[in-house]
Amino acid sequence: MLSDFSLEKLYRSMTTIKNKHIMTIIEKIIANHGKNATVKPGEIADVEIDARVARDFGGANVVKNLINNGLTIKDPSKTFFTFDTNPGGSDQKYAANQHYCRMFARENEIEVFDIDTGIGTHQAIERGLVQPGGTFVSTDSHANITGAIGAFGQGMGDQDIAAVWAKGNAWFKVPESVKLTLNGKRPANVAAKDVVLNLLNIFGANKLLGQAVEIYGDDVENFTLDERITISSMATEMGAIILLFTPNETILRDLEKLSGKKSEGISADADAVYAEEYDVDMSKFVPMVAMPGHPHNDTTLESVKRTKIDSAFIGSCTNGRMEDMRITGEILKGQKVPHGVVLKIVPSTDEIWQQCLDEGLIKIFKDAGALVSNAGCAGCAAGQVGQNGPEEITISTGNRNFRGKQGKGEVYLASPATVAMSAIAGYITDEMIENDVPVEFENKGLKLKATEKTVEKGAEKPLIVEGRAWLIMVDDIDTDMIFHNRYLAITDINEMGQYAFDNLEGFENYSKETQDNDIIITGKNFGAGSSRQQAVDCFKALKNSCILAESYGSIYERNAINAAMPILTYSPEMITELELKDKDIIRVDFMKGEVTNKANGKMFKINPFYDVQKEIYLNDGLL
């Protein structure tokens, strides 16, 4: 029989367990930055943001949103500009936007990480702007790279960032958490980039859509900070909200060495509840390559070996780290890129660039025939170096190879070692065949004032709309297909409509053929990819009444809701149940969640507006 003391001890233990708030990493971070001690998936939370960043092309629109709405900066010490997409302003619109942001920064005592610093998300990590367990937002869709250190980062559109700059907080729907365990030891020839390409091959672009993924495993503990950054940087390409690593003592020491700031770290509770748990055998991973068109269209490196290339690129937020530069240097030392092959190398930060100089890597790169640029995003945002031309075949360490993303040619994605070796060989490979000869070519002024608004504030907003249905039944339509990055410098919404879908095969003439009140119906993961607000605003400019999709990219969903662009989700049976044909007239009730085909009177239930969506919609937008 238990003694009175033992019974009391057992009672206290059971009470403690009952009252304990058991949470995942993302739930802990949101709870720690919100009003409630605990949060659950699906809840809407108001979250304090530790660091808020606008980049050079998005920054001008953020400033305009603030000025147009008479808003001020709540806390300039947590507010930053980063000029990383086009360091140097080689394009006139980029240059104008950067200067516009600099003027605003001077007036409001905002720190600018200018053209000499490098990628903003990397600056946030290295300078300790965001710490493990912290919160970070940026107009960069890869802000979730901070998952590498156990922090919650999110890419946002221009209105979202403007609101955070003004209020210091942002609303978030608490995502479901997923636990992903990588079992076994990583093979010696498998780089961090290969790890994430193997995962993309398994999960695709939407199986983890909208979920926060925590990555575990015995060998995962050995992943370096640079390797974690590589993997976390491709969460957006997987459709996930974020890929989170629990920072161990080694990572915490590395972060302290970089920023001079101590952190206690963060971890999930032992009994945390996950929507799904996956076990993957990492010991079976092999070197991979993403085929042109989609990061998740992956194949083994072996299957594409000896594919002739015209150019190679090493850099981006995914693979521009110091470890990547050293691997590249080891392969290029004493080698020469063959005639007709172009190699471009861009370190991710100026600190890494300087370290490359100190270690003699810059000389190795130059002696090999590479073009070395100052730190930044390079070709990823169509702003620096790394773009390719029509029919050009490029192998790249970037995170995206959507059609038109890095130029007019075709882009394969691979690890730095594969790209460097391929640049020397002139074809895709991870090793030179004995006595093989490298393949060469054969001859063959802005003012800080409010701008006119397209929609008058307070205009009546309909909760029921009717229009022609455009059936665009394609999954994973990314923001480059919706609104190509070559138009990113456009800040006038009235100019945006003409470019809607002009990079989506089969719908290039959409802007010329659409009519007022037309309704877009599409598949899964609509709006995958970047954080560009223009991919929403182009449809507002065309006066399309709403968008129906099976699911949305998480950043796109926020941007649309915050811009008062009605978006709703439906289950795939809708098309059949309604006997829906292209250009049928349909009626959509936002609040009841009903779609009616006017041609036959059939009605189908879809997911209605939720409260915060209705509130923002009736307010003509977040601001």
Rounded CA gap, 93 and 498, in Å? 19
β-sheet bridge partners, residue 599: none
Q: What is the SS3 assignment for 112?
A: strand
Rounded CA gap, 157 and 535, in Å? 10
Residues 84, 55 contacting (CB under 8 angstroms) = yes
The interaxial angle of helices 554-562 and 534-541, nearest 10 deg, is 40
**Cα-based angle 124, 129, 132 (whole degrees, multiple of 5):** 90
Cβ neighbours of 438 (radius 10 Å): 17
Region at 211 (left for phi over 0; alpha for psi -120 to 50; beta for the rest): beta
Average pLDDT per run of 10 along the chain, which is 623 residues long?
A: 44 40 95 95 96 90 95 97 81 84 96 93 95 96 95 95 97 97 97 96 93 97 97 93 97 96 93 96 96 85 93 92 97 94 95 97 97 86 72 88 75 95 94 67 54 52 96 95 88 93 95 97 94 94 97 94 96 96 97 96 96 95 92
pLDDT given at position 540 = 96
Task: Tell me which residue of 603, 606, 594 sits closest to 570, measured CA to CA.
Answer: 606
Rounded CA gap, 399 and 572, in Å? 30
- Residue 622, class by beta-carbon neighbours within 10 Å (0-12 exposed, 13-18 middle, 19+ buried)? buried
Record the tokens describing residue 275, joined without a space. 């929507």
Please give the biggest Cα pair distance in the chain.
93
Rounded CA gap, 619 and 243, in Å? 33
Rounded CA gap, 200 and 207, in Å? 10
**Which residue segments constitute the domains of the chain, with CATH numbers given?**
25-284 (3.30.499.10), 288-425 (3.30.499.10), 464-618 (3.20.19.10)
pLDDT given at position 1 = 44
3-state helix vs strand vs coil in the chain, percent to 5: 35, 20, 45
E strands in 363-501 = 371-372, 393-396, 410-413, 464-472
Residues 287, 300 contacting (CB under 8 angstroms) = yes
CA 30, 32, 36, 38 dihedral sign is positive
Rounded CA gap, 101 and 420, in Å? 37
The amino acid sitting at 81 is F
pLDDT given at position 89 = 64
Phi, psi of 474 (to 5 degrees): -130, 135
Q: Percent of the chain at pLDDT above 70?
A: 91
pLDDT given at position 491 = 86
The whole-angstrom distance between residue 619's C-alpha and the CA centroid of its chain comes to 27
Region at 86 (left for phi over 0; alpha for psi -120 to 50; beta for the rest): beta
Rounded CA gap, 446 and 489, in Å? 13
Residues 126, 351 contacting (CB under 8 angstroms) = yes
Record the tokens describing residue 583, joined without a space. 């250009």
Residues 398, 313 contacting (CB under 8 angstroms) = yes
Task: Tell me which residue of 132, 144, 143, 153 sits closest to 248, measured CA to CA.
Answer: 132
Task: Quickly tell me which residue has 């795939």 as its tokens.
Answer: 572
Rounded CA gap, 55 and 48, in Å? 20
pLDDT given at position 7 = 45
β-sheet bridge partners, residue 178: 213, 276
Work out the end-to-end distance of the chain between its first and last CA atoms, rounded to an integer number of angstroms: 66
pLDDT given at position 90 = 67
Q: What is the SS3 assignment for 313?
A: strand
DSSP 8-state class, residue 241: S
Residues 542, 514 contacting (CB under 8 angstroms) = yes
pLDDT given at position 431 = 85
Residues 428, 395 contacting (CB under 8 angstroms) = yes
The amino acid sitting at 159 is Q
Record the tokens describing residue 50, joined without a space. 């530790």
Residues 153, 137 contacting (CB under 8 angstroms) = yes
**Cα-based angle 16, 132, 118 (whole degrees, multiple of 5):** 170
Locate all alpha helices (DSSP H) within 563-610, ordered by sequence: 573-577
Rounded CA gap, 171 and 165, in Å? 13
Rounded CA gap, 369 and 440, in Å? 14
pLDDT given at position 18 = 39
Q: What is the SS3 assignment for 476?
A: coil
Judging by DSSP bridges, how do beta strands 567-569 and 410-413 pair with one another? unpaired
β-sheet bridge partners, residue 524: none
Judging by DSSP bridges, how do beta strands 585-589 and 464-472 pair with one another? antiparallel
